[in-house]
């Protein structure tokens, strides 16, 4: 399937936003005095991951739709085989490398629980294993679980994208409400526990379905809008971006997790805004500009960048005191350094692990 450059820009934005968030948090949030910047960076993980989930749904829908148009829609087993071949090699290499350099406690009876969870994409199920080996990989567990049901969701969205979107939103909000009430009644007040269970596949299902719905809407109406692409795409993109900024500043003050009723629909609202942004970017004429090529590079290698960026940041901060000092005292310099380092590392990881044959040819 041909890459869509405009969507690649959003893909690059998602991974860079998540990376900036992790850099900021791991550096002790040095810009707290700069209120607006602090707010934008503090919610970078939430916003980036939500967009990440939507883009997964968007990409899967277009992939299955393209296969169906060629008359070769894969069955569930063929679909999962293809997904596993796509995500497992580099994922397992990342986990294995990290385990080699981690404490020997990981190979105790208790540690085996963590290893098993990560190798079976179930690390997101428990606060104990969530983030214990690689703090960013809980999302891969959620995405893998989405893949398990994606072919069935595709059929529902293809049949009626609007009804599917509405049902998924209602289902997700009800699940979040049920999770919050259960945790509250159990006497749990730790927001990190709420975070774990409010971002499972069932309590984030609308993120994926809305991404699929945006793709379905575009597939069904895109041809009829060819003459109005710029007139429609630009205002839709600008308006949705402005509303996403409003969402960020509102929920930075009101909180996303816990028992506050405003938190139940929080990610659903953000997912709706991002689905509109996806449609807006799909409408825009292809933005193939030279100055955007670094972002296309990030998008092509986003999986490797995502897998490795957090361990790289933590290793450099722990083993290079001068680097740790820069991260806290000259954060403006630390950020571009980390972006370059992690992007280069992600590129080579993708090239030599995911595409070894092409790497040998180039060599």
Vertex 37 angle, CA 35 and 41, to 5°: 115
143 in a structural domain: no
> Is residue 226 over pLDDT 80?
no
309 in a structural domain: yes
Token couple for 41? 């960076």
195 in a structural domain: no
2 in a structural domain: yes
Q: What is the pLDDT of residue 363?
A: 45
pLDDT interval class at 227 (50, 70, 90): confident
Q: What is the pLDDT of residue 327?
A: 87
pLDDT interval class at 104 (50, 70, 90): low
Q: What is the pLDDT of residue 191?
A: 92
125 in a structural domain: no
Helix H, strand E, coil C: the string for the chain is CCCCHHHHHHHHHHHHHHHHHHHHHHCCCCCCCCHHHHHHHHCHHHHHHHHHHHHHHHHHHHHHHHHHHCCCCCCHHHHHHHHHHHHHHHHHHHHHHHHHHCCHHHHCHHHHHHHHHHHCCCHHHCCCCCCCCCCCCHHHHHHHHHHHHHHHHHHHHHHCHHHHHHHHHHHHHHHHHHHHHHHHHCCCCCHHHHHHHHCCCCCCHHHHHHHHHHHHHHHHHHHHHHHHHHHHHHHHHHHHHHHHHHHHHHHHHHCCCCCCHHHCCHHHHHHHHHHHHHHHHHHCCCCCCHHHHHHHHHHHCHHHHHHHHHHHHHHHHHHCHHHHHHHHHCHHHHHHHHHHHHHHHHHHHHHHHHCHHHHHHHC
- Mean local confidence (pLDDT), 323-333: 88
Q: What is the pLDDT of residue 105?
A: 66
> Is residue 34 over pLDDT 80?
yes
Q: What is the pLDDT of residue 359?
A: 53
pLDDT interval class at 319 (50, 70, 90): confident
> Is residue 362 over pLDDT 70?
no
Higher pLDDT among residues 32 and 360, named by residue: 32
Q: What is the pLDDT of residue 356?
A: 67
> Is residue 326 over pLDDT 70?
yes
Higher pLDDT among residues 255 and 348, named by residue: 348
Q: What is the pLDDT of residue 111?
A: 85
> Is residue 211 over pLDDT 50?
yes
Q: Which domain holds residue 318?
A: 1-42+288-363
Q: What is the pLDDT of residue 186?
A: 95
Closest CA to 95 of 84, 85, 106, 86: 106
Alpha-carbon span 91 to 121, nearest angstrom: 10
> Is residue 170 over pLDDT 90?
yes
Quick check: 52 and 4 in contact, CB under 8 A? Answer: no
Alpha-carbon span 315 to 23, nearest angstrom: 12
pLDDT interval class at 1 (50, 70, 90): low
322 in a structural domain: yes
pLDDT above 90 covers a percentage of the chain that reads 80
- Mean local confidence (pLDDT), 228-237: 85
Token couple for 164? 């599917």
pLDDT interval class at 117 (50, 70, 90): very high
Alpha-carbon span 105 to 126, nearest angstrom: 19
Q: What is the pLDDT of residue 231?
A: 81
> Is residue 283 over pLDDT 60?
yes
Q: What is the pLDDT of residue 314?
A: 92
The pTM assigned to this predicted structure is 0.94
- If you average pLDDT over every residue of the chain, what do you get? 92
Quick check: 248 and 291 in contact, CB under 8 A? Answer: no
> Is residue 360 over pLDDT 80?
no
pLDDT above 70 covers a percentage of the chain that reads 96
User: Which tens digits make up the pLDDT trace of 46-86?
Assistant: 999 999 999 999 999 999 999 999 999 999 999 999 999 99
> Is residue 27 over pLDDT 80?
yes
303 in a structural domain: yes
- Mean local confidence (pLDDT), 152-165: 97
**Residue 308 CB contacts under 8 Å (≥ 6 apart), including other chains:** 94, 342, 345, 346, 349
Alpha-carbon span 92 to 339, nearest angstrom: 23
Q: What is the pLDDT of residue 224?
A: 74
Give the number of domains in the chain.
1
Higher pLDDT among residues 363 and 306, named by residue: 306
233 in a structural domain: no
- Mean local confidence (pLDDT), 298-324: 92
Q: What is the pLDDT of residue 230?
A: 74
């Amino acid at each position: 399937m041909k890459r869509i450059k405009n969507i690649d820009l959003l893909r690059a934005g998602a991974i860079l936003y998540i990376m900036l968030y992790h850099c900021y948090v791991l550096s002790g949030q040095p810009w707290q005095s700069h209120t607006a910047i602090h707010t934008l960076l503090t919610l970078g993980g939430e916003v980036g991951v939500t967009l990440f989930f939507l883009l997964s749904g968007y990409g899967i829908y277009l992939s299955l739709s393209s296969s169906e148009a060629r008359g070769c829609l894969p069955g569930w087993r063929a679909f999962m085989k293809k997904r596993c071949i796509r995500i497992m090699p580099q994922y397992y290499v990342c986990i294995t490398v990290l385990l080699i350099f981690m404490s020997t406690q990981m190979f105790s009876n208790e540690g085996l629980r963590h290893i098993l969870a990560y190798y079976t994409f179930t690390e997101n199920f428990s606060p104990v294993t969530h983030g214990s080996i690689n703090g960013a990989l809980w999302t891969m567990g959620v995405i893998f679980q989405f893949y398990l049901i994606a072919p069935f969701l595709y059929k529902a969205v293809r049949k009626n994208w609007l009804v599917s979107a509405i049902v998924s939103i209602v289902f997700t909000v009800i699940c979040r409400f049920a999770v919050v009430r259960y945790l509250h009644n159990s006497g749990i007040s730790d927001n990190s526990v709420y975070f774990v269970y409010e971002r499972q596949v069932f309590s984030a299902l609308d993120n994926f379905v809305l991404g699929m719905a945006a793709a379905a809407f575009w597939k069904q109406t895109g041809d009829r809008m060819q003459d109005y692409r710029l007139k429609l795409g630009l205002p839709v993109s600008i308006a949705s971006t402005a509303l996403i900024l409003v969402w960020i500043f509102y929920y930075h003050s009101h909180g996303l997790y816990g028992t506050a009723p405003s938190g139940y629909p929080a990610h659903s609202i953000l997912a709706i805004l991002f689905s509109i942004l996806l449609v807006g970017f799909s409408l825009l004429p292809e933005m193939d500009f030279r100055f955007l090529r670094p972002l296309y590079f990030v998008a092509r290698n986003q999986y490797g960048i995502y897998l490795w960026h957090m361990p790289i940041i933590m290793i450099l901060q722990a083993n290079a005191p001068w680097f740790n000092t820069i991260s806290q005292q000259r954060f403006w310099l630390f950020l571009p350094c980390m972006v370059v380092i992690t992007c280069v590392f992600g590129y080579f990881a993708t090239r030599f692990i995911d595409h070894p044959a092409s790497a040998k040819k180039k060599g």
